[in-house]
């Protein structure tokens, strides 16, 4: 930028690379391209901001401590708070799904990138993970319904966690593998040169170097899982009271309650749906910040 | 370096502890077990345990009203009703995931429920309104044949001679008719079209079912509320909406010509009168559509609970009996609040007798 203000001082030896020295046509093209890019960013941002604005505007007046803890009213037409059971359900179901899928997914990615590389098995797993990413969530719900719910004979929160874990797993495997691939081989070689075994290198060097990217991938997967409705409705049933037990009894989540309340004709139910939407956004936000913080502590600094 | 490793381990330890705590909390049983405890036979106040039902969304408002009422009366009884639609409800009942199911339609072979394994228990009924929005017209009368012609687009303007013939003395504008229908598979569509196949069998050509092939120049809405929204927004629109939603959303309804040649508005009294005129089968399935009787409203949708004839757990059977008995006796008074028609006494007695056979 400073060179642009001082075109007179240029010497013959150093060509003027500032924008002012460009021909008019190229400057015009440059400006147009910049404008288009800014417009594209704005266009992408507008829906996001509008969504946030709407959820905030409609939900803020509804969410309070009572809303977050009280039972869900059975009569949809009755005004008043209550999403406590759904908050608990969202936390334990998504939490259990994360516990199931993140260790498995990261270990799978370590195998693919550090051990399997281009072997036949690794390539098959990679392809299957890509295929699984495209499976619609309701299909995963039906799959869990057939193999778990019907076998156990009850719709439970754990069944929902299983379905969400199946949805999260391929996302975590693929994103973690990409992140591990970005770790420079020099780090691995340096570690090996110091006499560290391969597992030691993976645990102490490769994973910490990639941890922030892996966390981002895991958080995206968790956010996607927390926002799923279809599998929950299929395999978790519904409750209006808080059920802390994952393995027994029906459960419910915020997304399922948003869906249920939004289709009711009553204003009170619509209010609860907006409140639940705001609560869900806040939960995802809090966990993203937490995960960033923890990942920051793990990461190798000053790379 | 050493310090950094230490702090990293520290965070790992905290994270692990937190995860363990969450896992423990999730495993610990914070709820009473699902098996009923104590004696449930003493009536609804003493009942305790859990009951799960799912199915039809049409009577959902009434069932939730009953469940909410019971929360105050029987503190240890926990009932959930999940309104997932008749067909899903029947499937979950067949798979043993729920203790009872709600259904607007009868059980078919393809539902997977064995013929002699369940009872039908009629609970309430509700009229399906023909709601319209036409500026300047506050009273509209329609015969079945005219309704059929409107909904299959044989009639395209409101001042058509067929509509005028049903409404002597009313000045009808030349506004174009907009037909609104359900896009989702629906018991309301099934009952509405079934009525037209019965009452206007020479005119109605689209058949009957949870969905039918509507003409391309009609408008679709999701659920009763979606249809109601089109009717509210478009001048000249007409659609079929259940009474509960139509009343909540303040729509205008047409009076429909019944079998006795009288034009009757959709009211709860007219619906109960329609149930009185309906022929009830031995298994208590019945069809109140186009029933006879001077006051009977002809487009009436029945709804049933499906309960098992024999429950594996006798306590579960007692709970189901106590719950449904409450719904059929004291609970009937709640029906009107949410715009459902209570059963006439004769049908109620038959349902109670059928319920007694559950074991």
Per-residue burial over B116-134, b if 16 or more Cβ lie within 10 Å, else e, is eebbbbbbbbbbbbbbbbb
Q: How far apart are CA B33 and CA B25, in angstroms?
A: 16
Q: What is the CATH number of the domain that holds B242?
A: 3.40.190.10
CB contact under 8 A, B31 and A245: yes
Strand partners, B240: B130
What 3-state class would DSSP assign to B89? Answer: helix
Alpha-carbon B142 to chain mean position: 24
Asked if residue B237 belongs to a domain, the reply is yes
Do B115 and B11 fall within a single domain? yes
Strand partners, A133: none
The reported pTM is 0.76
* Nearest in space to B188 (alpha carbons), one of B301, B304, B90, B107: B301
Q: In chain B, what residues touch A102 (CB-CB under 8 Å)?
A: none
As a whole-number percent, the residues of chain A with pLDDT over 90 amount to: 61
Q: What is the ipTM of this complex?
A: 0.71
CB contact under 8 A, B52 and A237: yes
Do B88 and B149 fall within a single domain? no
Asked if residue A169 belongs to a domain, the reply is yes
Tally of domains in chain B: 2
CB contact under 8 A, A154 and B97: yes
Asked if residue B297 belongs to a domain, the reply is no
Do B264 and B336 fall within a single domain? no
Structural element, H or E, at residue B128:
strand B118-133
Asked if residue B295 belongs to a domain, the reply is no
Tell whether A294 lies on the interface with B, counting CB pairs under 8 A.
Answer: yes
Q: What is the sign of the dihedral through the CA atoms of A103, A106, A112 and A115?
A: negative
Taking only the tens place, the pLDDT of each residue in A203-229 is 999 999 998 889 989 998 998 899 999
CB contact under 8 A, A294 and B19: no
Q: In chain A, what residues touch B31 (CB-CB under 8 Å)?
A: 243-245, 248-249
Do B142 and B58 fall within a single domain? no
Predicted pLDDT of residue A301: 61
Predicted pLDDT of residue B192: 92
Which residue of chain A comes nearest to B57, CA vs CA? A264
Tally of domains in chain A: 1
Distance from CA of A74 to the nearest CA of B (A): 5
Tell whether A209 lies on the interface with B, counting CB pairs under 8 A.
Answer: no
Do B156 and B9 fall within a single domain? no
CB-nearest to B97 from A149, A245, A260 is A149
Asked if residue B294 belongs to a domain, the reply is no
Neighbours of B164 (CB within 10 A): 15
Distance from CA of A39 to the nearest CA of B (A): 35
Alpha-carbon A274 to chain mean position: 21
CB contact under 8 A, A238 and B80: yes
| Chain A interface mutation, best of B2, B57, B97, highest count of A Cβ atoms under 10 Å | B97
Q: How far apart are CA B157 and CA B179, in angstroms?
A: 11
Spatial neighbors of A290 by CB under 8 A, at least 6 apart, are none
Asked if residue B299 belongs to a domain, the reply is no
Do B197 and B313 fall within a single domain? no
Asked if residue B95 belongs to a domain, the reply is yes
Taking only the tens place, the pLDDT of each residue in A158-216 is 999 999 999 999 999 999 999 999 999 999 999 999 999 999 999 999 999 998 889 98
What's the mean per-residue pLDDT of chain A? 89
Asked if residue B156 belongs to a domain, the reply is yes
Do B218 and B94 fall within a single domain? no
* Nearest in space to B302 (alpha carbons), one of B290, B315, B319: B290
* Nearest in space to B126 (alpha carbons), one of B334, B291, B270, B255: B270
User: Could you tell me if B119 and B309 are in contact, meaning their C-beta atoms sit under 8 angstroms apart?
Assistant: yes
Which residue of chain B comes nearest to A150, CA vs CA? B95
Do B139 and B150 fall within a single domain? yes
| Chain B interface mutation, best of A240, A252, A292, A298, highest count of B Cβ atoms under 10 Å | A240
Q: In chain B, what residues touch A208 (CB-CB under 8 Å)?
A: 8
Q: How far apart are CA B97 and CA B84, in angstroms?
A: 13
Q: Which domain holds residue B96?
A: 3-124+304-355
Predicted pLDDT of residue A12: 60
Distance from CA of B171 to the nearest CA of A (A): 33
Q: How many CB pairs under 8 A join A and B?
A: 94
Q: How far apart are CA A82 and CA A240, in angstroms?
A: 9
pLDDT classification of A300: cutoffs 50, 70, 90:
low
CB contact under 8 A, B11 and A153: no
B168-174 long-range contacts, Cβ below 8 Å, gap at least 24? B170/B137, B170/B139, B170/B140, B171/B136, B172/B134, B172/B137, B173/B134, B173/B135, B173/B136, B173/B137
Q: Which domain holds residue A286?
A: 65-298
Taking only the tens place, the pLDDT of each residue in A244-274 is 999 988 999 999 999 988 888 788 888 999 9
Predicted pLDDT of residue B31: 40
User: Could you tell me if B302 and B125 are in contact, meaning their C-beta atoms sit under 8 angstroms apart?
Assistant: yes
Predicted pLDDT of residue A11: 55
Predicted pLDDT of residue B49: 85
User: Could you tell me if B263 and B257 are in contact, meaning their C-beta atoms sit under 8 angstroms apart?
Assistant: yes
CB contact under 8 A, A243 and B30: yes
Alpha-carbon A109 to chain mean position: 17
Q: What is the CATH number of the domain that holds A177?
A: 1.10.3720.10
Q: How far apart are CA A59 and CA A75, in angstroms?
A: 20
Distance from CA of B17 to the nearest CA of A (A): 13
User: Could you tell me if B211 and B185 are in contact, meaning their C-beta atoms sit under 8 angstroms apart?
Assistant: yes
Tell whether A150 lies on the interface with B, counting CB pairs under 8 A.
Answer: yes
Distance from CA of A214 to the nearest CA of B (A): 16
CB-nearest to B225 from A153, A155, A263 is A263
CB contact under 8 A, A265 and B71: no
Q: How far apart are CA B63 and CA B65, in angstroms?
A: 5
Which residue of chain B comes nearest to A265, CA vs CA? B225
CB contact under 8 A, B61 and A208: no
CB-nearest to A74 from B34, B67, B84 is B67
Tell whether A242 lies on the interface with B, counting CB pairs under 8 A.
Answer: yes
Do B318 and B186 fall within a single domain? no
State residue B156 phi and psi, 5-degree precision: -120, -10
Q: How far apart are CA B319 and CA B40, in angstroms?
A: 6
DSSP-derived pairing of the beta strands B263-264 and B255-257:
antiparallel
Asked if residue B349 belongs to a domain, the reply is yes
Predicted pLDDT of residue A272: 92
CB contact under 8 A, A239 and B64: no
Structure tokens given for B82: 């999940």
Tell whether A239 lies on the interface with B, counting CB pairs under 8 A.
Answer: yes
Spatial neighbors of B32 by CB under 8 A, at least 6 apart, are none
Do B259 and B134 fall within a single domain? yes
Do B32 and B116 fall within a single domain? yes
Q: How far apart are CA B195 and CA B298, in angstroms?
A: 8
Predicted pLDDT of residue A112: 94
* Nearest in space to A253 (alpha carbons), one of A269, A276, A271, A272: A276
Do B55 and B104 fall within a single domain? yes
Q: What are the pLDDT tens digits along chain B (359 aa)?
A: 444 444 555 555 445 444 444 444 444 333 443 434 333 334 677 778 889 999 888 888 899 989 988 888 888 888 999 888 888 889 889 988 899 999 888 888 888 888 889 999 999 988 999 999 999 888 899 999 999 999 999 999 999 999 999 999 888 999 999 999 988 777 788 889 999 999 998 999 998 888 889 999 999 988 788 888 899 899 999 999 988 888 888 899 999 999 888 999 998 888 888 888 888 888 888 888 888 888 889 998 888 999 999 999 888 999 999 999 999 998 898 888 888 999 888 889 999 999 999 88
Taking only the tens place, the pLDDT of each residue in A26-61 is 889 999 999 999 999 999 999 999 999 999 999 998
User: Could you tell me if B234 and B118 are in contact, meaning their C-beta atoms sit under 8 angstroms apart?
Assistant: no
């Amino acid at each position: 930028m400073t060179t642009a203000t001082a075109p007179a001082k240029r010497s013959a030896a150093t060509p003027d690379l500032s924008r002012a020295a460009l021909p008019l046509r190229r400057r015009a093209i440059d400006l147009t391209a910049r404008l288009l890019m800014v417009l594209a960013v704005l266009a992408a941002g507008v829906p996001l901001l509008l969504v946030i604005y709407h959820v905030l505007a409609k939900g803020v007046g509804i969410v309070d401590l009572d809303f977050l803890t009280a039972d869900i009213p059975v009569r949809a037409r009755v005004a008043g708070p209550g999403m406590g059971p759904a908050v608990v359900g969202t936390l334990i179901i998504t939490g259990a799904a994360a516990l199931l899928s993140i260790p498995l997914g990261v270990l799978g990615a370590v195998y693919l990138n550090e051990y399997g590389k281009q072997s036949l098995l690794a390539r098959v797993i990679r392809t299957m993970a890509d295929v699984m990413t495209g499976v619609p969530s309701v299909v995963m719900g039906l799959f869990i319904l057939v193999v778990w719910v019907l076998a156990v004979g009850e719709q439970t929160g754990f069944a929902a966690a299983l379905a969400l874990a199946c949805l999260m797993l391929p996302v975590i495997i693929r994103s973690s593998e990409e992140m591990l691939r970005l770790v420079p081989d020099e780090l691995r070689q340096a570690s090996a040169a110091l006499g560290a075994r391969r597992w030691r290198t993976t645990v102490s060097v490769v994973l910490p170097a990639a941890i922030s990217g892996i966390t981002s991938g895991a958080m995206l997967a968790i956010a996607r899982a927390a926002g799923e409705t279809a599998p929950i409705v299929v395999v978790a049933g519904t409750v209006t009271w808080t059920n802390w037990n994952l393995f027994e009894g029906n459960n419910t989540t915020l997304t399922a309650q948003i869906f249920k309340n939004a289709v009711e004709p009553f204003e009170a139910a619509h209010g609860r749906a907006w409140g639940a939407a705001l609560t869900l956004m806040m939960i995802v936000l809090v966990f993203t910040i937490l995960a960033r913080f923890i990942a920051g502590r793990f990461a190798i600094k000053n790379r | 370096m050493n310090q950094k490793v230490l702090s990293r381990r520290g965070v790992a330890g905290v994270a692990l502890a937190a995860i363990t705590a969450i896992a423990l909390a999730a495993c610990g049983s914070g709820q009473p077990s699902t098996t009923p405890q104590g004696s449930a036979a003493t009536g609804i106040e003493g009942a305790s345990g859990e009951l799960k039902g799912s199915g039809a969304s049409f009577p959902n408002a009434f069932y939730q009203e009953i469940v909410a009422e019971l929360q105050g009366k029987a503190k240890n009884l926990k009932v959930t009703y999940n309104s997932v639609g008749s067909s899903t409800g029947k499937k979950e009942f067949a798979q043993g995931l729920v203790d009872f199911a709600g259904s607007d339609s009868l059980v078919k072979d393809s539902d997977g429920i064995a013929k002699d394994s369940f009872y039908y228990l009629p609970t309430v009924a509700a009229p399906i309104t023909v709601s319209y929005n036409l500026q300047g017209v506050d009273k509209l009368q329609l015969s079945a044949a005219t309704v059929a012609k409107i909904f299959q687009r044989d009639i395209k303007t409101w001042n058509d001679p067929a509509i005028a013939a049903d409404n002597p003395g009313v000045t009808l504008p030349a506004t174009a008719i907009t037909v609104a229908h359900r896009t989702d598979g629906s018991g309301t569509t099934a009952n509405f079209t079934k009525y037209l196949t019965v009452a206007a069998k020479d005119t109605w050509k689209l058949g009957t079912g949870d969905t039918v092939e509507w003409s391309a120049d009609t408008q679709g809405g999701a659920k009763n509320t979606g249809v109601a929204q089109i009717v509210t927004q478009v001048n000249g629109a007409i659609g079929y909406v259940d009474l509960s939603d139509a009343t909540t959303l303040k729509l205008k309804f047409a009076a429909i010509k019944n079998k006795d040649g009288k034009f009757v508005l959709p009211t709860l009294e007219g619906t109960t009168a329609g149930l009185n005129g309906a022929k009830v089968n031995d298994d208590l399935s019945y069809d109140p559509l186009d029933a006879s009787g001077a006051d009977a409203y002809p487009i009436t949708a029945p709804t049933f609970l499906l309960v098992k004839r024999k429950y594996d757990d006798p306590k579960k059977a007692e709970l189901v009996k106590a719950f449904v008995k409450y719904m059929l006796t004291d609970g009937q008074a709640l029906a009107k609040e949410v715009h459902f028609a209570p059963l006439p006494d004769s049908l109620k007695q038959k349902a109670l007798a059928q319920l007694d056979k559950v074991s």
